[in-house]
Amino acid sequence: MKRRVASRRLKRKCQTCGREFKKGDVYYKHREVIFDFDFAEIIAFEFIQCPKCKYKHDSHNDRFERFKSRCHHPITHEVWSYIPGEAVMQPDHDECLICGKWV
């Protein structure tokens, strides 16, 4: 993502929180251009974020990894699997829906 400074009020908003940008505000822009060979046309996509949302997005994985070590598995789900050679399912294991560990 490229760091940009708005030179004027932008009509575009942060795609995560909907914040508008005025002159002098910092925002981050990711632009992707794709060439479609079937229809011979060029398609471009832009993803715009404010600094607050970019920080939250970047630090999300680190915070989740730290949380997984102290997860108490409050929500579990019983996973069922087929018995080999049969058409009947049996309970296989319990899995935490938050961190994904087998309980």
Give the pLDDT score at 99.
86
The two structure tokens encoding residue 28: 């981050």
Q: How do 76-82 and 41-49 pair as beta strands?
A: unpaired
Domains defined along the chain, listed by start: 2-70 (3.30.1740), 73-103 (no CATH)
| Separation in Å, CA 17 to CA 11, 23, 54, 88 | 15, 19, 11, 47
Given a cut of 90, whether residue 100 has pLDDT beyond it is: no
- pLDDT tens digits along 26-85: 999 999 999 988 888 999 999 999 999 999 999 998 988 888 888 888 999 999 999 888
Give the confidence band of 87 by pLDDT, cuts at 50, 70, 90.
Answer: confident
Give the pLDDT score at 40.
86
